[in-house]
A and B are shown apart, each in its own frame.
Chain A
């Protein structure tokens, strides 16, 4: 992140009227109270409460950042994604189980066991799974409809790695950036979404 962009983001409070930040409690005060009133537990350390620029801008703008600010930060987020070289299509079968599992990164969980992607919490994917959420768009037949070439693979990989690089205040976690999913796990999910053999595209 460049200094110029940090300043841009920091100055946002002054630029945007925020209905979420009203009355006598300042943004800084609320952040202080949060840090005072939580404690580290298991793998969930206190640094998870440090808002980064994405969280701060989205909080202060009530998830509606000015377009230029959003664009600048999205570009930074995108530039920080370490896209692997070669094919991004992993094993759709492994992706299928990871898409279904909602475990991972919570204070009571064993960090040595792999996290799931929890995709079905928010997305409809394969027709074989009838319990799915609707917070995110349906991804059913995504590969069939949108293609599965290198560009599409890169897009899906990037979206899972860091959704904020594409839509700043998306509600989707940054699975790669936060170390929640490994490179291989993300490739497996890319295959589950795109591979023509995946039940998602049958």
Chain B
């Protein structure tokens, strides 16, 4: 984290007196980026454990979460997944690839005018259920979609 901060500060162009002040903790740097990362959730080896770690152990199925993903992907290295929630008050969306070694792939929080929508390309080791969990008013809603991963090319 120290290394991260140092680089972030350098990236922000901190030099001279300003850098000294920042290093001494006298000034808060213009926050280049939020740096909290839920290690427990991302290291979880099952979707259930990952959901517990993000505080979403209890979920209910919802038809208002839309997952657009190809039913069949030509290559697992890039599988585009577009998710959005029509549930009023949605503040976060988590994307989990259930069969991946570490299922949680992304967790986005939305504030201000940002709509609960994200499109992201993910790696899938094999065909899997893609699970999306939305947080709205402290309640968690979920939806799934299956994506089949195939193998192309000459395999050599």
Interface flag for A59 (CB, 8 Å): no
- Interface residues in A100-150 (C-beta closer than 8 Å to B): 100-104, 106, 109, 116, 118, 120-121, 130-131
Interface flag for B156 (CB, 8 Å): yes
Asked if B156 and A118 make an inter-chain contact with CB atoms under 8 angstroms apart, the answer reads yes
A131: chain B residues within 8 A (beta carbon):
150-152
Q: Bound complex: CA of A102 vs CA of B154, how far in Å?
A: 6
Interface flag for B11 (CB, 8 Å): no
Given known A-B contacts A130-B150, A131-B150, A120 and B155 have beta carbons under 8 A apart: yes
Asked if B156 and A102 make an inter-chain contact with CB atoms under 8 angstroms apart, the answer reads yes
User: How many whole Å from A77's CB to the nearest CB in chain B?
Assistant: 25
Asked if B150 and A103 make an inter-chain contact with CB atoms under 8 angstroms apart, the answer reads no
Q: Bound complex: CA of A116 vs CA of B150, how far in Å?
A: 19
Q: Bound complex: CA of A190 vs CA of B122, how far in Å?
A: 39
Q: Which residue of B lies closest to A105 (CB)?
A: B156
Q: Bound complex: CA of A100 vs CA of B148, how far in Å?
A: 19
Asked if A102 and B155 make an inter-chain contact with CB atoms under 8 angstroms apart, the answer reads yes
Q: Bound complex: CA of A103 vs CA of B153, how far in Å?
A: 12
Q: Is the interface of B mostly helix, strand, loop or mixed?
A: loop
B151: chain A residues within 8 A (beta carbon):
131
Total residues of chain B contacting the partner, CB 8 A:
8
Q: Chain B CB within 10 Å — which of A100, A109, A118, A131 has the most?
A: A131
User: How many whole Å from B109's CB to the nearest CB in chain A?
Assistant: 37
* Cβ-defined partner of A103 (8 Å) among B148, B152, B155: B155
Q: Which residue of A lies closest to B148 (CB)?
A: A130
Q: Which residue of A lies closest to B149 (CB)?
A: A131
Q: Bound complex: CA of A121 vs CA of B150, how far in Å?
A: 13
Q: Which residue of B lies closest to A108 (CB)?
A: B156
- Interface residues in B138-156 (C-beta closer than 8 Å to A): 148, 150-156
User: How many whole Å from B152's CB to the nearest CB in chain A?
Assistant: 7
Q: Bound complex: CA of A106 vs CA of B153, how far in Å?
A: 15
User: How many whole Å from B43's CB to the nearest CB in chain A?
Assistant: 31
Asked if A118 and B154 make an inter-chain contact with CB atoms under 8 angstroms apart, the answer reads yes
User: How many whole Å from A119's CB to the nearest CB in chain B?
Assistant: 10
Q: Bound complex: CA of A106 vs CA of B155, how far in Å?
A: 12
Q: Bound complex: CA of A116 vs CA of B148, how far in Å?
A: 25
Q: Bound complex: CA of A102 vs CA of B153, how far in Å?
A: 9
Asked if B150 and A101 make an inter-chain contact with CB atoms under 8 angstroms apart, the answer reads no
B148: chain A residues within 8 A (beta carbon):
130
User: How many whole Å from A106's CB to the nearest CB in chain B?
Assistant: 6
Q: Which residue of A lies closest to B151 (CB)?
A: A131
Q: Which residue of B lies closest to A100 (CB)?
A: B155
B154: chain A residues within 8 A (beta carbon):
102, 118, 121
Q: Bound complex: CA of A79 vs CA of B152, how far in Å?
A: 36
A120: chain B residues within 8 A (beta carbon):
155
Which 9 residue pairs spanning A and B have beta carbons closest together?
Answer: A102-B155, A102-B156, A131-B151, A103-B156, A131-B150, A102-B154, A121-B154, A121-B155, A106-B156
Tell me the A residues contacting B by CB distance below 8 Å.
Answer: 100-104, 106, 109, 116, 118, 120-121, 130-131
Given A118-B156, A121-B154, 4 more A-B residue pairs with CB atoms under 8 Å apart are A103-B155, A103-B156, A130-B148, A131-B152
8 contacts between A and B (CB under 8 A): A102-B155, A106-B156, A118-B155, A118-B156, A121-B155, A130-B148, A131-B151, A131-B152
